Structure 1
Amino acid sequence: LMGGVRAGMGYTGSRNLEELREEAQFTRMGPAGLAESHPHDIQITKESPNYSF
């Protein structure tokens, strides 16, 4: 959990939790954007047990 918070602070440029709460903006991503953000042209040889797409 702490690593995710730190990463979020780095993405938003926040120096502390108060700045993160006040300045962070969430962006909604549609299905087309989600599909485009995944790697392209990769052949999967074995399905991962913890991730399905």
Structure 2
Amino acid sequence: MATIKSPRTNSSSSRKFIDGLTFDDVLLVPAYSQVLPKEVNIQSHLTKSIVLNIPMLSAAMDTVTEANLAIALAREGGL
């Protein structure tokens, strides 16, 4: 967990942030598993009341997320 220091007071914030991972931080290696795909839950909580069925968020930019992508993500449970 990272502690954020306030530039104004130079004191540690009471809010703690968990480090996030990007694609460069993770390597998936194929291996045998007894877990069936239908048994896997990939839901993610965006907020306490918003649950995403897939952990996918698209940028709020019209040059990145056009209507077709937004609709496809919404149909699958993303945002």
Task: Answer whether TM exceeds 0.5 for this pair.
Answer: no
Query: Max radius of gyration: which structure?
Result: 2
Structure 2 length as normaliser, TM-score?
A: 0.24
Structure 1 length as normaliser, TM-score?
A: 0.28
